[in-house]
Structure formats: C-alpha cells, structure tokens
Structure 1
C-alpha cells in the first residue's frame, strides 16, 4: 500500500513512517522541511500523488486562538488535493476528550479539524489519543516558578508516542472507520502526582505543589481527558517508560 504521511518527520509522523515501512508498505514522509506547506498548499499535490491513503499528522505551531485557522486552512488544502487524485482514505490524529474542553483554544481547533474531515468527501478515520508521555517535561516547564512546579490535580492517562504511532499505522492500512478510535495508556494519574513521579525518576531540584489554577490543564473539568468505554488501552506504563 502507498501512503503519504503529511507531518511525517515529527514525533509521531517519523514513527508511523517507520512502522509502515517495516511492515512492507510504501510510506513517504512529507513536511515543511521536504517542501510541503499545508497553509499555502505548496507541494501537496505532489506529496499525495499516487497515494492510497493520506495520514495527516501536521500540527498548529501555536496553542492559542490562531490554531483554528491553521487547522481549517490545512485541512481544506489537504482534502482538495486528496480528492483531486482519488485518495480513498484520510487519517488524522486528535485528542481524547477534545470536545469536552471548550475553554482551550487548541482543543476547540482539533474538534474543528475533526468536523472538517467528517464533512468532507473522502472516507476517513480519526484516532484520538490521550496525552503523550513525551510531553511531560514540557508540561512541567509551563508552570515552573524557580524550583517549584505548580500543577493541578487534573486526571490524565498518559500514552507513549510509540503506542500512538502503532495504532495510527494500523488504522491507516485498514478500512476507513468513518468514525473515531480512542487510544489511551494503561494508568490514570492526577497531574500533580504525575509530576512528582517524573521528578522522582529524573530529579533536578524542583518540587511539585498542588495548584488547581495552574497551567492549561486547569481548564479541564473532571475526567474529560480520560478514555471512556470502548477505548483501546496501550501496553506501555508510565513508570516503565520513565525507566
């Protein structure tokens, strides 16, 4: 099978390309660094030419109120290019519970991306993942003041990037879901506890204090970002990943 992976040089994209190639598929990575610009459409026609499936793993450069425009423009260009050459399946990666967090611009933007795909002319699959384990260092940095990290008790269910990539690759070579697959890690932690576990394994002099007003995850209510029934549970535990 021939697949065009847009955003194929990033954290997930590079892994997806590797998984697909190892399985014998022809998976071509495309990104801004290879001459593809999803905002202008430059290089998209060439990137998707001959592809059976397009996997869109591009991401907005910001998490603010500019992110909806990124996803609207990029999806419009991608779907137009894919439809023109007869692509039979488009796959995107989104976030578990994105529609439950209207207070975050980026999450609203991801829901917009999903809606554009659903309303489009091409059979599709949406893979929704929980928060990546690889993002924990960034999450800690967002709310660090001196030697203290302020974190809310928001429940998270972290998943390893490799587990996400394996699921995206599997969906990409299957029949279109015309729906959504949720994937999540095997363990649920309050975010402040997750921060303490991380710093215990990788001590750097910082300590965590619980602060339910701190950072973007303070806008999340209840268990909105936790996978519900029917989700696929990935095998990698956070403590094992840390070690």
Structure 2
C-alpha cells in the first residue's frame, strides 16, 4: 500500500521563502553596520591662528651702468732747449797762470783719425774675413788657366790607372807681400792628386794681398781644384 504525503503538513514547502527572507535580513544588517556613524565625545580643539610668513618678490628693472671714464694720461713736460746751447756743470777754471818770456805754448794738433778707437791688428794675425779679399795677379780666370795647364801635363799616373778624378780643396795663406805659404790639402781624393794640387798652388804666381782698413794683412784662402780624367 503506497504512502501519500499530505501537502498541508509538508515542512519543506516554505523552504525557499525562508531562505530568501534570511538572506535579505542578513544583507540589511550588514549594510546598516557599515552605514552607522559614531562620534567621539572630545570637544573641538582650538588650533590657534596659523601665522605664515610670505616673502614678496619685487621685480627689479634692469639697469645699465655707464662705462668708467678713461684714465688720465699725464703727458711729460717738454722743455725746449736750444740746439747750440752748451751746458757745462762744475767747470773749474784756473786762470792764475804766470806768463813770462820763457813760457812756451805747446800747439796741439787734432787729427781726424777714424781708427783711433779701434785696436791695431796683430802683425802675425791671419784673417778669414776681410774688407777686400786677396786675389790672384791677373784675376781668377788667369789663375785657373794656369792650374788647368799644369794638371793636363802632369796628371798622376796612379789616379789615371785607378780612374780617380774629383775635387781637391787646397788651403793656403796669402802673406802681406802676396807670397803663398802654408799650403795643404784639407780634402782630397788620393791617387797622387792631393800632392800635385799642393805643388801647383805652391808654384803659382804671387797674389794681391788682402786689405783691412786700407792696410795689407795676412789672409787664409780655400780654393777647389778639379781633376778631370779623360776616359777613352
């Protein structure tokens, strides 16, 4: 036999209604709690007057300063002095002189000597630089013509055999009388050319001596002598 429930005594028939009602009440209570405002019983606090200092910024207009005045230049005082005026200070004159018939007046001769302040040259001094250089009698062209004739006839056999040619530099001294002394080869090429060049210069004609301030002086000279070998 099947058992049947009476809907009037079913306890679950209002279950959804009570559930929704409970949720509504709960949400209302939570909302009321959050919206509740409480105030403390402390009275109002007097914070006093707040004093705040403010600095006012004043706008200063730009100003232009004038340039400083130029410095004063004190010009030296110019005193005009005559060209022909001769000023002599502390000049002592002794005019108390006895004159008799035996007194002689010595005459002083003033000569215009341009070299009075310059020391005289030493007698044996050899000059390298002079006002007027020494030169061969007849000129440089005649001297080298003499040298060429001597070398053409006496070319060293050793130098010809070894094919040696070039320039030999000969140094010598021209004396005050034009004589040639102290002849030596300062730069040679060998093969007998140096000795031949020295001999040719020693046997050369006299030179015109050098002059310093119008006087003949000893001077040193260096000349080149070229040896040219004619090759066949």
TM-score, normalising length from structure 2? 0.19
* Greater share of helix: 1
TM-score, normalising length from structure 1? 0.18
